[in-house]
Every structure is written in structure tokens, then in C-alpha cells.
Amino acid sequence: MKTLSIWAEGVAGDVNLEIKSIRATGCDNSVQSAAEVALATFDGAAGTTFKFVELNDPVMGGKSTGTWNVDMAEKVGIFDGEVVNVPSLKAPGFIKAAADAKYFPDASSVAAGDIVLSVRSSTPDYKGFRVTVVSGAVSASFACAGGGGLPLSRGCYKAKFSVPKSSNGEFQTVRLDMRAFSDLWSSATGEHTKECADDASACLTAAKLAKIQRIEVWAEGAAGKVHLEVQKISAEPNSMVV
């Protein structure tokens, strides 16, 4: 497309037109669906079904505990547990569920888009939900323990999210801009030490999204009971506005 024009032509009269946006959409969802990249599902589908393993906080006597199970009837991963203070630190620890692969599906085509979670929770007020996408790490587990604060611990890109309340039990869509992720964060709190906007080396790029090694779901840095059901994790384009 080289030119986009708006005309008033062939009819006499005063003209006033205010334009908020111009966008192109199909008659169905085929265009956007074709661009969506499913990264992890829990329906047994080849290429997107991976084994998630739950991990409790091992640091300095951490007492947080959790479980991860897959309900094949509902086709969801279920993350349950409780985050409590680490006694020696007097601050909340973490629990998480992680899946590894040689590479997850190539999501480089939507590097300017979002990581999208289809989730629901009976604990939507919990403030410590996070998701990580690992790429380019020497060791995925070490990167997600060090958060870039230790040598050779870059590559675990983390973002915080919240789950909207649902009165009818429907799954909610949570969209996280790729720029909300950073691989520079505190291993003690999970909070970013540098944002992608401030340090380009901390950003999820197309090259990183092409070779995802691990995906994790966390409950971290906030004490409380946790229940999260995950239906799908995907990478999707932003809505295009001209």
C-alpha cells in the first residue's frame, strides 16, 4: 500500500469528518489467527504441549509450596499453592512451574506484539503473578535464578501480570506487550532492575523469540494463596492502527 486517501466528491455540501483510526480487518479472524503463534497449550497437541514442573523456593529455607497439574478434561494447567515469607529474609519467596524444550514455536514474526495468556483464577487479588520467557541463556534454570544479576544469568525475560476477576468463571485474556519484559530483575523480589525501554539489551527481540528455551509461570514477591488455571500461552500481534 503506497497511498491512502479520503475524499469528498461528486456531491455539493459542507463537509466535516473526524477520523480516530483507520484499520483493515477481514470478514473473519483468519488473518489474525494466521499470525498468532501458540507457544504452550494443555490439550495434548503436538508442538505446543510441554511438560511443566513445579518448583518451590529453595533459597535459605524458603517455605513457599505449590503444585502443578494438568486437567486433560478441561485442557488446562492448574497452578496451586501459597507464597509465604522466607524466615531468614522476612520477605515473601516464590513458587513457579516451568517447561523446557529444545525450542518452543518460533514467535519472531510477532516481535512487535504481545505475549498473551488465557487464564482464570479464584485468587485474582494476588499481586505476584509473573511469566518468564527464556532465550539465549547459557542455562535456563540459572538465568531464572539470577535475573541477570550474576555472571552468565542473562536470558530469562520476566513480566508481572494480574488476572481480571470473573463472575461467571470464564477464562480471561491477559496481554503483555513484549516491551514489558526484561531479563534484568532482582532475584530477591522479582522486580525489574532495568526496563526494556531503558536498556535495549534487556528486550525480547525477534532473534530471542525465534529460539525460546523455557516458559515459566510464577507466584513471587507477594505473600498469599495462589490458584491459577492456564489454558494457553501465545504470542500475538498488536491491533494495527493506521
How does DSSP assign 180-226, residue by residue? G-BS-B-TTT--BSS-TTT-GGGS--HHHHTSEEEEEEEEESS-EEE
pLDDT digits (tens, 9 = 90+) for 196-224: 999 999 999 999 999 999 999 999 999 99
Mean pLDDT of the chain: 90
- CA-to-CA distance for 111 and 169, rounded, in angstroms? 31
3-state helix, strand, coil in the chain (%, to 5): 10, 35, 50
Mean pLDDT for 55-60 is: 82
User: Looking at residue 33, what is its pLDDT?
Assistant: 41
Please return the burial class of 130, using the count of CB atoms within 10 Å of its CB with bins 0-12, 13-18 and 19+.
Answer: buried
The more confident residue out of 123 and 59 is 123
Task: Read off the pTM.
Answer: 0.84
Q: What is the torsional sign of CA 19, 23, 29, 33?
A: negative
Q: In order of start, what are the domains of the chain with their CATH numbers? A: 32-236 (2.60.120.430)
- CA-to-CA distance for 56 and 65, rounded, in angstroms? 5
Band the pLDDT of 24: cuts 50, 70, 90. Answer: low
pLDDT digits (tens, 9 = 90+) for 80-125: 999 999 887 788 999 999 999 999 999 999 999 999 999 999 999 9
